[in-house]
Amino acid sequence: MGIHTYFQSLNDLERIIRCPGKFKFEEHSVSAHSWKVVQYAKTLADIEETNGVTVDWKKLYEITSSHDYGEIFIGDIKTPVKHHSLELRAMLQQVEEGMVAHFIDEHIPSEFQPIFRRQLREGKDDSVEGRILEVADKLDQIYEAFTELQRGNTEKEFVVMYRDALIKIKGIQLHCVDYFLQHILPDLVSEGSRSPIDIEKITKEALAT
């Protein structure tokens, strides 16, 4: 079949859970994560524009909304696997891309195939939009980890998740990253101050690396 198969498939991402078995307070579906990335990216791009940067909104729309579509085929497993072996992660990436390519060949009408190939490509390149996607994706990792830490989840995993995302973000050159570090992150840290886990200390250490 055609576009119907694609539309229908979107529903399945609502049942694919991020990092299955890890979140203890709030689980997140891949579709909910994708929507939050779209939302963060929109505000991040607004910050860029208010600083005079030109944003290609069509490209940003395409790469943010579909950036995890491939997980429909293999679930959300790249991150935990990556922690153990970059080689195995590369192999998984290849499996996922193979599944996406296969899906487009089989289900998407030929006149739309170039559009779908462009939209479902890896979007995290060096362009402004690619960098905004990277920040937005890591931002959700920060908020997901924060939600666990703030409620007293003492498992080390979420400290690592929070710190790694923060370190990644601060290394990216964007006006919105400056804004995040100066205006958003302090509010987040302040809100987490009643947690039994010292979120402020973890944050400072990450920013100092």
What part of residues 49-88 is at the interface with a second copy (CB under 8 A)?
50, 55, 57-58, 60-62, 65-66, 72-77, 80-81, 84-85, 88
Tell me which stretch binds a second copy (CB under 8 A): 32-40, 127-135, 167-175, 200-208.
32-40
Note whether 46 binds a second copy by CB under 8 A.
yes
Smallest gap from residue 25 Cβ to a second copy (A): 6
199 exposed, middle or buried (CB, 10 Å; 0-12, 13-18, 19+)? buried
Contacts with a second copy by CB under 8 A: the residue count is: 88
**Furthest CA-CA distance within the chain:** 56
Considering only residues 112 to 131 of the shown chain, the ones binding a second copy according to CB under 8 A are: 112, 115, 119
CA angle in degrees (0–180, nearest 5) for 13-185-45: 60
Coil, helix or strand for 148?
helix
For residue 13, give the DSSP letter: G
151 binds a second copy (CB under 8 A): yes
Interactions with a second copy, residue window 173-192 (CB under 8 A)? 179, 183-185, 187-188, 190-191
182 DSSP assignment: I
